[in-house]
Amino acid sequence: MDDDIEVILQDRRAGLPQQHLDNPTFTACTGALLLGIYRLWTVFALPGFRKVPVNLKVPYLPSSKTQTQNVMKVLRGRRGCLADLGSGNGRLVFAAASAGLRCTGFEINSILTASARTRAWWRGLPACSVSFVSRDFWKTDLSDFNNVTVFLAPGVMDVLGEKLLRELHDEARVIACRFPFPGWPCSTSEGQGLDQVWAYDMRVVRDHLLQAPTLLPKAQTQ
Ligand SMILES: C[S@@+](CC[C@H](N)C(=O)[O-])C[C@H]1O[C@@H](n2cnc3c(N)ncnc32)[C@H](O)[C@@H]1O
């Protein structure tokens, strides 16, 4: 039996192109080819992302049904306009629009934007109620919005918090899905675990941070 296995292994070793594996040119070419394929994949699967700093890149993951329901609970009674930062296929935007908010989804991936626009058209939603903009939200002034929803990643929440503190007015409400803003006091929260959402009222956040000015971005303390 042992002899049989030895024979099989010997046959397999003989089948491997060992001279290629030992050849540095072959290894370099394979590496370059794999890198090229990866580059191509990022161009098509993550269009627009090349200009976003690596520490601020956030991949697509749609909100779950429960998470969306939790967002709607903390938006209850809110009026005006809403921005969803990184709107994906538009799930949160469609839910918020059904509650009467004028919604804009900012999405850097043009394939997702196209999909969300098609879904809006299919549902017969007018542009004054729902719109999807193919744009980097880091480069967008958000001061016109009094409701903002975000479902992003833990690593970007600090930086995003600084941007929102600079741009949003006191009456604005920010809803964070799954990942809370570090150091911000939430006004209310819904759900648990992966579906938890936190609502922050900017006036409350500012009042809280003013008591610990080192947490405020520089522009707010001057
Ligand atoms: C976790 S998904 C959330 C999708 C959607 N909001 C939802 O709840 O179903 C995050 C989305 O943000 C988008 N995104 C990441 N960085 C962005 C940026 N700088 N500007 C616009 N969209 C961005 C990604 O392409 C992705 O679709």
Q: Is 90 in the pocket of ligand 1 (CB under 6 A)?
A: no
Residue 45 has pLDDT above 90, yes or no: no
Residue 96 has pLDDT above 80, yes or no: yes
In the predicted model, what is the mean pLDDT of the chain? Answer: 87
- For 102, the 3-state DSSP assignment is strand
Index of the ligand 1 atom closest to the CA of residue 57: 16
pTM: 0.80
Q: Is 74 in the pocket of ligand 1 (CB under 6 A)?
A: no
Please list the residue range(s) of the chain that carry CATH number 3.40.50.150. 65-221
Cα separation of 14 and 11, whole Å?
A: 5
For domain 65-221, say whether CATH 3.40.50.2000 is its number. no
Residue 124 has pLDDT above 50, yes or no: yes
Give per-residue pLDDT as tens, 146-185.
Answer: 999 999 999 999 999 999 999 999 999 999 999 999 999 9
Give me the mean pLDDT over the 37-66 stretch: 77
Instruction: Spell out where the chain has E strands.
Output: 81-85, 102-107, 130-134, 147-150, 173-177, 188-190, 197-201
Residue 53 has pLDDT above 50, yes or no: yes
Q: Is 151 in the pocket of ligand 1 (CB under 6 A)?
A: yes
Cα pseudo-dihedral 40, 44, 50, 56, rounded to 10: -120
pLDDT band at 14 (very low <50, low <70, confident <90, very high): low
